[in-house]
Structure formats: structure tokens, C-alpha cells
Amino acid sequence: MSESTRRGFLGIAGAGAVAAGTAVVAPAAAADPDTKAPAGSAKDRVVAYVSDARKGEVSIMSGEREVVVKDRALANRILNAARR
């Protein structure tokens, strides 16, 4: 993966993580790429990785926290972004 692509991946992953947090509360919002981060979203750098693509498990890390969400749509978006 080239450096520019890797940065792009992380940027997308970070944006996806915010969407994932929303997905837990309002699943419909996760599918909308234009959804703005609501108040209370992570302000720090966010890292996300797809820990189990088959189950749609995405591990999201921000600060000293880690949450694992099950969101197949989010996992697929990240996987697709990684292939760009």
C-alpha cells in the first residue's frame, strides 16, 4: 500500500469510526456518508481496523479507549476503501 493510499485509508477509517458510533444509536445514519459528526463524537485521532470481516467486527480506538462494533456495512466500506 502506498503512503498516500495508507493515509487515505486511515482518514476514511477515522471517519468510519465516527459513523460507527452513530450506527449503534441510529443504524440508518451510518449508511449516510454525509452525516455530520454529532456533538460528543471523538475529537482525538481515531484508528479503526476490521478485526473480523466475516462478522462485520470493527475495532475502534481513540485515546485510551477501544470499542468493538458489529456493523457489516461499516466493515465493508473500510474493506472497499482499502482496495482503492
Binding site for other proteins (CB under 8 A): 3, 10, 45-47, 49, 61-66
| HEC readout, the chain | CCHHHHHHHHHHHHHHHHHHHHHHHCHHHHCCCCCCCCCCCCCCCEEEEEEECCCCEEEEEECCEEEEEECHHHHHHHHHHHCC
Residue (51 or 80) nearer to other proteins, CB: 51
Matching residue, cell 462478522: 55
As measured in angstroms, the least distance from the Cβ of 34 to other proteins is: 26
Closest CB 58 distance from other proteins, rounded Å: 13
Nearest approach, Cβ of 46 to other proteins (angstroms)? 8
By beta-carbon proximity to other proteins, the closer residue of 10 and 29 is 10
Instruction: Tell me whether residue 2 or residue 28 sits nearer to other proteins (CB atom).
Output: 2
